[in-house]
Amino acid sequence: MKQLLLSLSSVAVLHSAFSAQPNVLFINADDLRAPGGIMTKELMKTPNLDRLAERGTTFERAYVQYTVCNPSRSSYLSGLRCEQTGIVNNLTLLREKKPEVVTMPQLFKEAGWRAECYGKIFHLNGKRGSERRNEALDLPKSWHAADAFEPTALGRRMIEQRNMTGGQVEWCWWGMAEGGDDDQQDGQVANAVIDSISRNGGKPWFVGCGFAKPHDPFVAPKKYFDLYPLEKLPIWRDAADITPVGRSAGIGRHFEKFTDQERREFTRSYLAGTSFMDAQLGRVLDVLDEKKLWDTTIVVFLGDHGYHHGERGWWNKNTLFERTCRAPLIIAAPGMKGGQSTRSLVEFIDIFPTLAALGGLKPPAGLAGVDLTPVLRNPATEVKDAAFTLITRGGAESGRRVRTSTHALTRWSDGGSELYDLRHDPEEQHNVASDQPAKVKELEKKLDSLPAWKGS
């Protein structure tokens, strides 16, 4: 009888939440890393992100399932690990591998929410302007309406610009753009999102807001570069006794040639893009203020993966270190306390079941994540003891990382292992796998619990 009462109580809670039909504003900043290393909260000027954090819960230990755009997005939008989606590159669309998958926005759309997306939520590279554009946007399955944007002719004109590799790496350049915010993609995304929220009025909606920055090319209006005087920017220096590890061939050799000038320019342009994105975020948050929507709207803000800024000589993503596996995640929900942070380990696959629970919806069967609502209610709550990330590097080479509260273990498909004791080595500079074989064996058991992956 007690069990029956508990079940009825759970149903009542779900029904109550569903009746409220909260709006969902889902915001993604492309390639935005979490604070750490030289990228301190004091250095990164993000007043609007700070403003959102005051209304929500900041997850200080949130981990992506892949450290490249499309695999990461395909994972958290489907609620499945990359081992389950089979997507480990930037070219394969989610529905090419999983045609019948019910995505996060699709769940809300089919339950009666108005679903619209502006900018990059699903991965779009290489698909704009082609006959596959709607497929890349996942129209019409995930959204009623969706659009992506390009800089205007004025916004493509640069006041000043430079390729930091002398033209050897095409994407590795920065530019101070002419024009204003609306001449860039993110300004146009903000406009479209604001219009969508305003048009939908009292109807429940799920709006995707996909900002393009701070992703390369590192272009923003000049005023955002002016926020960061070049000569005052710090430079990351690895420890002299850092344990060497393998690095992706190709662009790494160009990073090795960086002078302190290039290092500071790279950092400055990334920060300029971050502050530019933050300003557009502020415009979107203003609408929630003006229309008094905070009591009826769930806001999720995340970066799709992290990014290196000189750590281990790397200036990109696609590694299994903390700097790329950990990414920003803030969730603000009606009825939940704001201005709090948690060190509970969470994964991005947890976002889907969390939003389903907050919206009073039954999630699709077989999701890999867990509901984070208990953490929103009490940030000291722990919902899992490990987080996992996968990467592949050509052919059958792959690596898997498990991160616990104290250690991180990476196991490569060639049998190599890296173990980092994060209590004493938060920047993962000293591989202690040979010194702690028992810990390696313990964490390998956790990796063995994952779905199978070829080459692992």
Which residue, 191, 84, 204, is CA-closest to 147?
191
Q: Per residue in 291-322, pLDDT tens?
A: 999 999 999 999 999 999 999 999 999 999 99
Q: Is the pLDDT at 415 greater than 70, yes or no?
A: yes
> Which string of DSSP letters, residue by residue, matches 143-189?
-SEEE-----TTTT-EEEEEETTTTSSTT-EEEEESS-GGGSHHHHH
% of the chain surpassing 70 pLDDT: 93
Q: Partners of 115 in the beta sheet?
A: 206
What is the pLDDT confidence band of residue 69, given thresholds at 50, 70 and 90?
very high
pLDDT for 435 equals 96
Please determine, for residue 103, whether its predicted confidence score (pLDDT) is greater than 60: yes
pLDDT computed for residue 19 by the predictor:
44
Phi and psi angles of residue 27, each rounded to the nearest 5 degrees, phi first: -115, 125
399 backbone dihedrals φ, ψ, rounded to 5°: -140, 145
Beta bridge partners of 297: 23
Q: For 73-77, 140-144, 242-246, 277-281, which range has the lowest pLDDT when averaged over its residues? A: 242-246
H/E segment holding residue 300: strand 297-303
Residue 202: the pLDDT is: 76
Task: Provide the pLDDT for residue 393.
Answer: 84
* CATH superfamily placement of domain 21-377: Alkaline Phosphatase, subunit A (3.40.720.10)
Average pLDDT over residues 350-374: 98
109-161: per-residue pLDDT in tens? Answer: 999 999 999 999 999 865 444 557 888 899 999 999 999 999 999 999 999 99
Confidence at residue 249, expressed as pLDDT on a 0 to 100 scale: 60
pLDDT of residue 131: 57
Residues of the chain with CATH 3.30.1120: 393-456
Q: Report the pLDDT value the prediction gives residue 250, as an integer from 0 to 100.
A: 81
Residues 6+ apart with CB under 8 A from 448: none
Nearest to 338 by CA among 377, 286, 280, 389: 377
Residue 9 has pLDDT above 70, yes or no: no
- Cα distance between residue 159 and residue 162, in whole Å: 11
Query: Regarding the domain delimited by 393-456, which CATH topology (the fold level of the hierarchy) does it fall under?
Result: Arylsulfatase, C-terminal domain (3.30.1120)
* Interval 235-258: pLDDT, tens: 999 999 999 986 556 889 999 999
> Which pLDDT belongs to residue 182?
98
* CATH 3.40.720.10 residue window(s) in the chain: 21-377
Task: Give the predicted TM-score (pTM) of the model.
Answer: 0.94
Question: Given this model, what pLDDT does residue 247 score?
Answer: 56
pLDDT for 248 equals 56
Q: What is the mean pLDDT of the chain?
A: 93
